[in-house]
A and B are shown apart, each in its own frame.
Chain A
């Protein structure tokens, strides 16, 4: 009853037309409230709180007043909530600057770990002090489930970025593979820097081995599926540098042999068809010519008759 009334009340404030949507009872009370509103015509939506208590005398209406004791969130839980908020902010603060170039795994794995930890606390069904568990009160008391949603967003980010492949299981440090890759990457980049100034062909020649090692390492890691977004992005950038900026891709320089070989092959069927055409024409007898005998019986019958 109460929410309906409130809703209708707002409707009336906004459009001032009798609502036809609701049942009789509600409608009655609504028009009642409308009457009351006319008494205070200057009221705007901002003034909601003052007329509302006057509408339905039977219910307490204040949005600011607190709920009875047993529905309240315990201090312990609100503390947890607070910590969650802080760590969440810290993690997001860490993430945003690491967005480009992507370093979300390397820089933020520890803050992510702390978020995970606090969420674990919140969602555990172990009793905290005062025999309370915050799981129900914080995570699933309402439709919105804000804490859960916030966390699951982070979680899906983490999963999409595949960071788990680069970070040890306890979220303490980066894996050895990752560190090794980073050092190889650095070597390559140093090499790039060294030769960047002069002719790029020089660079292509000199950094080829470093770049090649990096490439091999990367494809190996790809096979083992130990790639995370940081590594992928770094590799992408390096490859782009190598191929686009320094133009070290393989040139297309064998046009003549390729064209020669393929046109030779294209030429073969022409010879084949021509020769089989000419050859077969010479031996026409050997062809499977469908044979058609004229039995001409009708003609003969006619002839018979005539004779």
Chain B
């Protein structure tokens, strides 16, 4: 019994990532860490009474569960925290090596560092712009080719009959593109699926998502997004651009590529999480900026979505990166379009300029806009709920790569089929105008000289459809066409998001919104007797697009600025802001934003801006994990190796304690050391005995730690002989001598604030005589969230 107990309590030393499913409901967990066992049962009863939200079922099962803690299987749901996610080390480790290096560095060296930060930001901008340019051109070429082939085929078969063959051709072409993209994503790099914004958001929040900023991910992402857009799925290429920007930033700032095994011996100082994370926020900004031609929007996106650590210089650098990115994109696109030097064609998605007479809006339209905002919020919440259920289904049942590819193929085929049917049965014919030359207009059964209006919406890349919805003359679309289009595209987009292809949700949302917004404009104009000049459908399309996008992704500040910048029109700032506000308020009432849903479904320990409300009564004592695995300042190598290689306790940070000699007093905290550091130390065999015998041995420098970053070898790959196990290791030089500590009565919000504001990874809980009694990590904090019935607790799980 004692043995088992030990094992269990061992497992509950949930350090950064405790044991397999250390998921203890709060009810039980609150009791663990009490080292002072005088807290009696009444205390726990009190807790139970207070914590009425704990599922009764959970309660029972936990009691019925065998004490050994046999893993219990439950289907995937949103109330889990995965063990595979770890924190980034944002906090600086001010150990002696660091101080030494700082001493050695001249003022000139610091200046150089500052300059190289700027150089890196410039490079990030340029490379991101180039990638955006590449994606844009490739999509245009491939989609153009595809639509040309299908168009010719349709024209041929309209005449002689056999249009179902065109339908099949369309579906097959779609599937071919999606097949390539799907295989790339599903088999080579699953993290590249989706828009990548949730992942980047998590990264900027301080969560290390495995493989999210690797070169391979970038390659898969770029090819994947080209394939999925060219494959006619209801997706956009803007979200992936943001992810690509992040990867570029993470790569460039390191001055080497671990995947290619090339080290350029540059920027070595930046090889740590702190610097990398700052650069990734610059990269994300550059991505937004390239995608929408919105440099300021990009900076604000980084601010809103991620960077918790913000200062004026960093902001300015990020702005620099995003400006450079827009500039690069414009420059190369101008060359591509045969107008070298023309820098006025910004953004992957160019909403086009609104003509001056259609931009006018009047005060009496504001309520209308706000109603549209509310509608956008409702539709967005519906979209998110549907997608939520779909994603849960996918996680539970469609998890094998081949199934995922098949699903993507099916979606591609169905998209083609539905689009074709819509076009085929549409009776909405509009005359060809001079401005319609650029796209692939289909005539089908329309009179000569007219085109099928449904085809401009379906038979086109989504972003061109957006542009035509914004800018075509009033009367270019039937209300019927728009209604049907909105309906089908809504479900198609909802179905598509979350597939194993890299694809963004920005453009589909804009498209849905633009369609129903335009519909609103047309209906308004028809309700009022003397067709008023203010009911310009294009304007309402813009407002609808903003409302729908706001309703789905729930971004506020950055989205307003992005929309304003992408349309190149500050005049609409006020209505867009109002619409986004309303959409967010209405949407939040029903369902979270799409990105938040996906973050939750991936069980990421995400820290929001604030601790959940009504959590002040929780103290560090209840929150922390305990007991903690500690090391002595001079520790036996064997112990360290054993602790590190214990697979059940994949801890990442260890408080270092010092035992006062010849006394019964418990050990006192004197520092904190990370697993990565220990591994480097073991690798270099920094043992006390060896140092004595070989005086000439090179002293370990900070550089050795940086060289191993970011892929520290696993402990299994480090060979320690039996003799060496008996050696001692002195951690004094390497540990962080001043870790942050809190007393055990600190409230949860206070701990939370420390974590969020300082970017901590471990927070030691110490008592009044500086003994370690617990350790708070990200997962300990992230598990509390405010659910529908009050404070709820997430469970840890192995995924």
Residues in A lying within 8 Å of B, measured CB to CB: 215, 235-236, 239-240, 242-244, 249-254, 257-262, 265-266, 268-269, 272-273, 276-277, 280, 287-302, 304-305
Q: Is B65 an interface residue (CB 8 A)?
A: yes
C-alpha spacing A145/B414, complex, angstroms: 63
Top 7 A-B residue pairs of the complex, sorted by shortest distance between their CB atoms:
A298-B31, A290-B797, A243-B447, A291-B71, A293-B21, A289-B73, A239-B448
Q: Which residues of B sit under 8 angstroms from A297, Cβ to Cβ?
A: 8-9, 12, 24, 28, 31-32
Q: Is the CB of A290 within 8 A of B447?
A: no
Task: Give the interface centre of A260, A268, A289, A296 by most chain B CB atoms within 10 Å.
Answer: A296
Given A258-B420, A291-B72, A252:B161 Cβ within 8 A: no
Q: Is B246 an interface residue (CB 8 A)?
A: no
List CB contacts (< 8 Å) of B119-175 with chain A.
Answer: 158-159, 161-164, 167-168, 171
Give the contacting residue for A294; candidates B9, B62, B396; CB below 8 A. B62
A-B contact pairs, 19 of them (CB 8 A): A240-B447, A240-B449, A243-B447, A252-B445, A254-B161, A254-B164, A258-B164, A258-B167, A262-B167, A266-B417, A272-B410, A288-B399, A291-B71, A291-B72, A292-B72, A292-B797, A293-B19, A293-B20, A296-B28
C-alpha spacing A108/B82, complex, angstroms: 80
Q: Is the CB of A296 within 8 A of B24?
A: yes
Further contacts, 17 of them, CB under 8 A, given A259-B421, A297-B28 = A239-B448, A254-B161, A258-B164, A260-B164, A269-B411, A272-B406, A277-B393, A288-B399, A289-B76, A290-B82, A291-B71, A291-B73, A292-B80, A293-B21, A297-B8, A297-B9, A298-B24
Q: Which residues of B sit under 8 angstroms from A258, Cβ to Cβ?
A: 163-164, 167, 420-421, 424
Q: Is the CB of B164 within 8 A of A261?
A: yes
Q: Is the CB of A293 within 8 A of B71?
A: yes
Q: Is B92 an interface residue (CB 8 A)?
A: no
Total residues of chain B contacting the partner, CB 8 A: 78
User: 1/0 per position for B243-276, CB-CB distance to A under 8 A?
Assistant: 0000000000000000000000000000000000
The residue on B at minimum CB distance from A211 is B448
Q: Is the CB of A252 within 8 A of B797?
A: no
Give the contacting residue for B41; candidates A240, A262, A268, A302; CB below 8 A. A302
Q: Is the CB of B399 within 8 A of A287?
A: yes
Residues in B lying within 8 Å of A, measured CB to CB: 5, 8-9, 11-12, 19-24, 27-32, 34, 37, 41, 44, 61-63, 65, 67, 69-76, 80, 82, 158-159, 161-164, 167-168, 171, 393, 395-399, 403, 406-407, 410-411, 413-414, 416-418, 420-421, 424-425, 444-450, 603, 795-799
Q: Is the CB of A292 within 8 A of B23?
A: yes
Q: Is the CB of A292 within 8 A of B796?
A: yes
Give the contacting residue for B447; candidates A239, A293, A296, A305; CB below 8 A. A239
Q: Is the CB of A236 within 8 A of B449?
A: yes
The residue on A at minimum CB distance from B157 is A254
Q: Which residues of B sit under 8 angstroms from A295, Cβ to Cβ?
A: 8-9, 11-12, 19, 22, 24, 69
The residue on A at minimum CB distance from B403 is A276
C-alpha spacing A298/B39, complex, angstroms: 12
Q: Is the CB of B798 within 8 A of A290?
A: yes
Task: Give the interface centre of A268, A269, A289 by most chain B CB atoms within 10 Å.
Answer: A289
C-alpha spacing A242/B449, complex, angstroms: 11
Q: Which residues of A sit under 8 angstroms from B62, Cβ to Cβ?
A: 294, 296, 299
C-alpha spacing A120/B164, complex, angstroms: 61
The residue on A at minimum CB distance from B73 is A289
Task: Give the interface centre of A240, A249, A265, A269 by most chain B CB atoms within 10 Å.
Answer: A265
C-alpha spacing A273/B73, complex, angstroms: 23
C-alpha spacing A288/B82, complex, angstroms: 12
What's the minimum C-beta distance from B426 to chain A, rounded to whole angstroms?
10
Q: Which residues of B sit under 8 angstroms from A272, Cβ to Cβ?
A: 406-407, 410
Q: Is the CB of A290 within 8 A of B28?
A: no
C-alpha spacing A289/B446, complex, angstroms: 54
Q: Is the CB of B70 within 8 A of A293?
A: yes
The residue on B at minimum CB distance from A284 is B73
C-alpha spacing A272/B72, complex, angstroms: 29
Q: Is the CB of A269 within 8 A of B9?
A: no
Q: Is the CB of A296 within 8 A of B449?
A: no
Q: Which residues of A sit under 8 angstroms from B158, Cβ to Cβ?
A: 250
Q: Is the CB of A254 within 8 A of B162?
A: yes
C-alpha spacing A249/B445, complex, angstroms: 6
